[in-house]
Structures are given as structure tokens and as C-alpha cells.
Amino acid sequence: MPSGRSAGTLPVVAIVGATGAVGVELLRCLEQRHFPLARLRLLASARSAGKTLPFRGEALPVEELTSESFRGVDIALFSAGGSISKRFAPLAVAEGTVVVDNSSAFRRDPAVPLVVPEINPQALKSHRGLIANPNCSTIIAITPLWAVHRRNPIRRMILATYQAASGGGAAAMAELLDSTRAYLEARPYAPKVLPHPYAFNLFSHNSAVDPQTGYNEEELKAMHETRKIYGDESIRVSATCVRVPVLRAHSIAVNFECERPITPAEVHQILADAPGVKLVEDPARNHFPMPIEASGGDPILVGRIRADLSDPSGHSIALFAVGDQLLKGAALNAVQIAELL
């Protein structure tokens, strides 16, 4: 369902959750990519109302999010959590606003497109005012693989994720910094945001574990979302998601099995031209993708491309991918969707 604005006019855009970690990055992406808009409105909770955020040389005020906030808004970028999305996204759509939602609230709804612009931009044609932004680790894992899948269909993926604090928001990032300082100063520190000590530690992703399957919510998201985005329910996916003490870039070890035999050289050649991907492959210096080099950048870094020696059929490849969770894993992907709109 398109917005009611006239063709050729610039859209009014709103960011919901503008003061959060992803909201701030949405603001930066819109500015850095010179997104064409008539007006930008910043929406957040009542406690943030009255603050200002910089945008294109101005200090934009933050407004309280209410049920009346979407009158005259053409595109709303939501990043304020699932409960806020479930409450306010339908109200926005009813006003004629097209919503790009960064939460998990609507991702599994078959009527809501789940979009990575490099993979399935055509899915936007079926939207009815609501579009879901995929899970961050899913985006980072499967965007590089799409170019491979188109040439030699992938039949199975095994993912092991090493996920940064930014996936838990600004509060989790602050907890990593604070707990690290305390650790180095030999001071006690009680976790407040995450369930376990974070400094110099890692632990299974802090989402609820499904008692039937033993997989946590983050792992199940990667499995279901991959099949929906690729449009192929036959792909077998297994994931193990771990939280690591890194500020803002997710790393993922990927093992995938193709329909036909495939070599590392072929994968190198395919990924060299894949949109949104940058090869980082220097075995002589043992230099491969790292979170410190992906942080703050748009591309997903890919390297350590090698044959899976446990598969004598030659159908399987292992690689390592790293991407900024706040950018391609969230804000950048949402802004790219808005650009397509």
C-alpha cells in the first residue's frame, strides 16, 4: 500500500526510537546517503522528548511518540522494540504511512515482506504498508551467500555466530565498557543488562531457549528468516548464537553445502563482485575479517574461504563473515529499503 503523497514529491520520514543505538545510526545513514526527504521527525519515549539530535547542520527536536504521531508521515523507520512496533505500527499504516520495522514483531508474518535489498527487493512489491527488517545476524550471514546460491543452490547452512554488545542496545554496550573497566581495576561488578559477566567472557545468546528444540530465539530467527528471504523452505539451517565482548560488529562462521560441487576459487570469484561484500583474504599475513575493521563500515567483510575437508564430495565451503550490527545488520538495511520505496 503506497503512501498518499503525490508522485515526485519528497517524503516526510519519521524515526521511531530515534535516541536508541540503532535510531542514532538511522539518522546518520539518512544524512550520509543524502536520502531525499521533505522533513525528518524524531520520535521516542516521553523521557527523551525535548532532546535534540544533529541532522544536516540542524538540531532536530525529539518528539514524544503517540498515536497521533504519524499524520502526514510517508515513511516511518521503527527501531524501538517489538512491543512498541506491535502497538504503533498498525496505527501508522492506518494513516497511510509505510513502516519499515527493525524488530522481530512481524518477521514471521507471511503477509509481511522480509527484505534484504541485495537479495529480494522484489518482495517489496507485495507490501501492504508494513515491511520487516531481518535479524542482524541473519543479514550478515546470508547476504554474501546469496550470490553463491543463485549460481549453485545452497542446500544446507551451519552458522556459528559471535555477536556484539550492540545487538542488546546502547545499555548492553555501556555494560561491556563498565564491566571491563571494573575487571581491569579488580572491582566487583554485578551485571544489570545481561545475565552473565561480560568482560573477558562469552556466553550463549541471552534470548529465551525453546524447551522443545533446545534452540534459543536468536538461533530460530536465523533458521526461519533465511528460508523466508531466500524464498526456499527446503534449505536446512542450523545455528549456534553466542554473545562475545565486542562492541558493535557481529562475526559468523559459516559452513554451507551446495547442490553441485564447488571450489574456494569459484566462491572467491563470485564474492568479488557481490553487492555489499568486501573480500578480506590475506593468508600470508593471517589477515581475515575482524570486528574492529568492520565497525563503522557498510560492507560485510568475508574471508577464510576454504573447502570443508569433512565433505569428500566437494559440495561444502567454510568461510568467515563480519558486519557492523548497527549498520548493515540494522540501520543501513532499513534505509536501503526506504531508498527502494
Instruction: For residue 287, count other CB atoms closer than 10 A to its CB.
Output: 12
Question: What are the angstrom distances between the C-alpha of 17 and each of 67, 131, 175?
Answer: 14, 17, 20
Cell numbers found for residue 65: 511518540
Question: Of residues 127, 149, 205, 250, which has the active-site annotation?
Answer: 250
Q: Is residue 136 among the annotated active site residues?
A: yes
Q: Percent helix, strand, coil in the chain (nearest 5)?
A: 35, 25, 40
Question: Of residues 29, 127, 136, 258, which has the active-site annotation?
Answer: 136
Q: Cα dihedral angle (302, 305, 311, 313), rounded to 10 degrees?
A: 110
Query: What strand order describes the sheet that includes 154-163?
Result: 203-204, 236-243, 154-163, 249-258, 316-324, 300-307, 277-279
Q: What is the 3-state secondary structure (H, E, C) of 105-174?
A: CCCCCCCCCECCCCCCHHHHHHCCCEEECCCHHHHHHHHHHHHHHHHCCEEEEEEEEEECHHHHCHHHHH
219: part of which helix (H) or strand (E)?
helix 217-230
Instruction: For residue 330, count other CB atoms closer than 10 A to its CB.
Output: 26
Active site residues: 136, 250
